[in-house]
């Protein structure tokens, strides 16, 4: 017999190290990267959310973080934000670690 309310089923977390886990961690990292960059560019509210969606979509072109780093770095530079690529890469690594930890808990 099906559950009384399928909307109330428990959500399973992907197993650490699995493809699903890494996919979700990367998606969460991309969103954190976007919101960080949006704040640096002075975006807020709907503009910030729209930018986050654009960054998440940018990751679809290649199965790596390179698209996201390229987009964020390019957008920050175009907004006259002085930032080095190494700083953007460091943030990406920090956000990925945070995303993985959040998924584990």
Residue 100, helix vs strand vs coil: helix
Q: Which helix (H) or strand (E) holds 105?
A: none
Element (H, E) at 3: none
Q: What is the mean pLDDT of residues 2-9?
A: 44
Q: Which pLDDT value is given to residue 16?
A: 58
Q: What is the pLDDT of residue 42?
A: 97
**In this predicted model, what pLDDT tens digit does every residue of 68-101 receive, in sequence order?**
999 999 999 999 999 999 999 999 999 999 999 9
* CA 44/CA 105 separation, integer angstroms: 29
Query: What count of other Cβ atoms lies within 10 Å of the Cβ of residue 55?
Result: 22
Domain 19-104, CATH homologous superfamily name and number: Domain of unknown function DUF1476 (1.10.790.20)
Q: Which residue has the higher pLDDT, 9 or 92?
A: 92
3-state SS, 16-81, equals CCCHHHHHHHHHHHHHHHHHHHHHHCCCCHHHHHHHHHHHHHHHHHCCCCHHHHHHHHHHHHHCCC
**Local confidence band at 1 (pLDDT 50, 70, 90 cut-offs):** very low
Tokens describing residue 98: 């945070």
Task: With 0.75 as the threshold, say if the pTM is over it.
Answer: yes
Over range 1-12, report the average pLDDT: 44
As a whole number of angstroms, the distance between CA 35 and CA 14 comes to: 24
Report residue 18's pLDDT band, with 50, 70 and 90 as the boundaries: confident
Share of the chain above pLDDT 90, in %: 66
């Amino acid at each position: 017999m099906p559950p009384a309310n399928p909307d109330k089923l428990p959500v399973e977390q992907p197993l650490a190290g699995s493809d699903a886990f890494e996919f979700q961690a990367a998606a969460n990292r991309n969103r954190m990267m976007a919101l960080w960059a949006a704040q640096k560019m002075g975006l807020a509210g709907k503009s910030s959310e729209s930018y986050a969606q654009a960054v998440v979509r940018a990751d679809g072109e290649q199965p790596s973080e390179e698209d996201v780093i390229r987009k964020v770095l390019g957008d920050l530079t175009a907004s006259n934000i002085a930032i080095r690529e190494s700083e953007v890469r460091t943030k990406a690594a920090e956000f990925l670690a945070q995303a993985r930890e959040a998924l584990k808990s």
